[in-house]
Structure 1
Amino acid sequence: MAAATGLQPSPHGSPDRSGRTSPGTGQSPVRGDVTSQDWRRARLWIKDVKDPWDPCILTLDGGGIRGFSSALILKRLMEEIYKWEKKLEEQEGTPTRGDLTELTHELANDDLSSRSKLPASADELLPCHYFDFMYGTSTGGLIAVMLARLRMNISQCLEQYRIVGDELFGHRKSIIPFMTKYRCEPLERAVKELVAKRDLGHIHPWDEEFRQRIPKMTDSIISRSTAAESDSPRWNPDAPRVCQSCCLTAIHNGTVQRAHLLRSYPHRYTRDLPAWITPYNSGADKLAIWQVTRATSAAPFYFEMLEAIVENEKRGHKDGGIRENNPAGAAYSEFVSLYPKKQKPALMLSIGTGRTSTSPDGFMSALPWPFGHVTLLRKMAENISVIPHLLVKYTESEAKHEEMVRYARGENTWYKRLNVSEGLENMPLDDWTKGKYEGKVVPGGASLSRMHEATDRYLSRDVDDQIEKFVAPKDMIEQLAEKLVRVRRARERLGGERWETFIGRGLRERMVRQTIETT
């Protein structure tokens, strides 16, 4: 695809003689120190699609109920994507067939070529048609699973988030300090029902047969030194595949040991892994989808940790946010190890759950309590053991963002982050206050309205030089949308098995057949 040849006209002002962009009148949606070179790099990145199959990556922070804000940001992105799909179709025509809506049971026998090139609304677009990988921690992991592994649209995701939020946080289990406050059964039940309804298999790894051929490599150091000599199949970056999900959890056996990745794809590390890359566990654990969502969201003081048998070993899993609340670093490490010949992905979008203050919120609200009840000691000890790690939740997310900005040399090309800057700072992770939402008084309505209003303000405001490195959130959304649409259209133009597999053609039939063969 042809690249832009020069600086494009900008609604935000024009470069002055110093090379900086002057905002013109009023507030500016761009930083005052952005140069013409910065703009040129940004436009080249947006328009130039060198390899259409360079991966597009989405990462989602943990944040309890505040993950609703992350989903709202994604909804705005999908709306902007829809605008760019229509705009580029009008300008350039349809690349080939325009298969933008997922096959469902009702549409399974439809002639795709007879349907409209675009769905009726942005709500029908699937994020899994625009991203190759989705990484999430805690409730960010839940969103990643819904959008990638279960291939839902964003409206379905938001509705399910509301349902789960009410079932989880609407009924408190315990008020005893250091004891879990809520029951985990509602989340388990909701995810199981979703999995049955989506009919895309119940095990998290997509290709279980392939996964079983990968040797157990639990020690990352061993895997770095020996995996290269193994006869097991390597990850093939050019193989046809659908969008993948990966959830971060924390392995627990009395003390928090390490972050652990629950992948839907197979992976093992090679000997030539760069020294600066963090090696996680290898392989894709054979866990049910409901177990993965429970494992990544087992927040201390909120839910009991998930205990599961993995390769004949009993293992405890807690909220991945204890170790890495912002999964962007893990996602970048995975990219480098999966695509060693690539210098950077096509795009990595990191979405937060609202900037937090360092004052206590739900995770630090429990006060020390005497160990007077022997029967409670074990559960209390499980939670107390993670207290030293909880401050990570308030500092690591933005620190990881700054680290990624350094890797990407700014936010004007492949790495970008969206994170509500004001309005959610002191919102407890389990806030579920009754109030008005969308014109009706409903359970959790006040909490939902607060997140919706804060997110809308964030996505409408101009640039904040103390936060943004390049442009205002609304302009970043537009840049992301144009890039994602150009990549998708370039892939469709290439066509072939890789494209057909990526959009999910025949996926349900293959999953049903695989289920029948393994039962």
Structure 2
Amino acid sequence: MEFRDETCTKTAVLAITKDNVDAPPTLFTTYDTSAGFRGCPIWQVARATSAATTFFKPIRVGRDEVEFVDAGFGYNNPSEVLVDEARRQFPARPRLQVLSIGTGLGDVVDIGNSRMDIIRALKKMATSSKNVAARMEDQYGDSDQYFRFNVDRGLEDVTLSDWEKASKISAHTKNYIRESRRGIERFVRHYTGSVEVHDAPTVAELIGENNNESRS
């Protein structure tokens, strides 16, 4: 099945070219796909956008077999890139509604004295999403156009390879959702005021409170 499908909701994902990781990211979209990537199947695009360098091999995509890795170096938070893309796609819309969902705050980046400590610090800086989040907050934070939710404690030591920590991730995420109830409900009010939504779940349903009550 092809990733390009102009009948569905406009969707974009990011990857970067292995031969020039310092270049702007490539956007694979379900619309307006360039001739070089037209006809790419969904699985290839998914592999390109998830090809974390220490876990998956790069993948060659498209007519010219361009080699891609995931956009984690520099674009773990793609909000700015996607806002620019949304403005190009919807130039007549005066307001955008942006929802950014993080994967949990990481540790503070400090630099030790050894060469390996410096390398680790540089990697953390390259993959951090904090600076983008701060810039987005400065630009949109008071406008009710931008909402970001990000588990703020408990996940500092969770890495990409920690699949066995799913229960820990779930517990801290549910606690965060419960503590952020007002902010989430505020986002829902603004969002549902601009689009038609059917059967949207409540915050209680998101964290399973209704299920717990029914069992007691």
Same fold (TM over 0.5): yes
1:284 shift after superposition: 8.2
Paired position in structure 1 for 2:4: 205
Q: Distance in 2 between matches of 1:203 and 1:477?
A: 34
1:206 shift after superposition: 0.3
Look up the SS of the partner of 1:460 in the other structure: helix
Paired position in structure 1 for 2:21: 256
Uncovered stretches (5+) of structure 2, i.e. residues with no partner: 111-115, 199-216
Look up the SS of the partner of 2:65 in the other structure: strand
Paired position in structure 2 for 1:416: 147
Paired position in structure 1 for 2:78: 327
- For the 8 Å contact 2:109–2:125, the answer to whether it is kept is no
Amino acid at match of 1:348: V
Show CA shifts across 1:220-253 (max 9, x none).
Answer: xxxxxxxxxxxxxxxxxxxxx5312211101112
Look up the SS of the partner of 2:37 in the other structure: coil
Uncovered stretches (5+) of structure 1, i.e. residues with no partner: 1-201, 208-240, 268-281, 361-366, 368-383, 434-446, 462-472, 492-519
1:304 shift after superposition: 0.5
Evaluate the alpha carbon distance shift between residue 337 and residue 412 of structure 1 in structure 2; reply closer, same or farther with a 3 A threshold.
closer
1:359 shift after superposition: 5.4
Look up the SS of the partner of 1:249 in the other structure: strand
- The answer to whether the aligner puts 1:393 opposite 2:127 as a matched pair is yes
Look up the SS of the partner of 2:17 in the other structure: strand
1:342 shift after superposition: 3.2
Show the 5 A alignment for 1:42-441. 202-207=1-6, 242-253=8-19, 255-258=20-23, 259-266=25-32, 285-286=37-38, 287-308=40-61, 310-311=62-63, 313-345=64-96, 347-358=97-108, 391-394=125-128, 397-408=129-140, 410-411=141-142, 413-433=144-164
- For the 8 Å contact 1:205–1:265, the answer to whether it is kept is yes
Paired position in structure 1 for 2:203: none
1:432 shift after superposition: 2.4
- For the 8 Å contact 1:323–1:389, the answer to whether it is kept is no
TM-score (norm 1): 0.34
Look up the SS of the partner of 1:488 in the other structure: coil
Show CA shifts across 1:179-198 (max 9, x none).
Answer: xxxxxxxxxxxxxxxxxxxx
Q: Distance in 1 between matches of 2:90 and 2:167?
A: 41
Q: Distance in 2 between matches of 1:284 and 1:490?
A: 36
Look up the SS of the partner of 1:244 in the other structure: coil
- The answer to whether the aligner puts 1:480 opposite 2:187 as a matched pair is yes
1:318 shift after superposition: 0.4
1:257 shift after superposition: 4.0
- For the 8 Å contact 1:252–1:318, the answer to whether it is kept is yes
Q: Distance in 1 between matches of 2:35 and 2:90?
A: 16
- For the 8 Å contact 2:48–2:70, the answer to whether it is kept is yes
Q: Distance in 2 between matches of 1:451 and 1:330?
A: 27
- The answer to whether the aligner puts 1:448 opposite 2:166 as a matched pair is yes
- For the 8 Å contact 2:105–2:152, the answer to whether it is kept is yes
Larger Rg: 1
Q: Distance in 2 between matches of 1:303 and 1:326?
A: 20
Amino acid at match of 2:182: D
Evaluate the alpha carbon distance shift between residue 487 and residue 343 of structure 1 in structure 2; reply closer, same or farther with a 3 A threshold.
closer
Show CA shifts across 1:301-336 (max 9, x none).
Answer: 11101112x23x121110111131101111111122
Q: Distance in 2 between matches of 1:318 and 1:388?
A: 18
TM-score (norm 2): 0.77
Select the residue among 439, 459, 478 that pairs with 2:177. Answer: 459
- For the 8 Å contact 1:307–1:314, the answer to whether it is kept is yes
Q: Distance in 1 between matches of 2:158 and 2:185?
A: 28
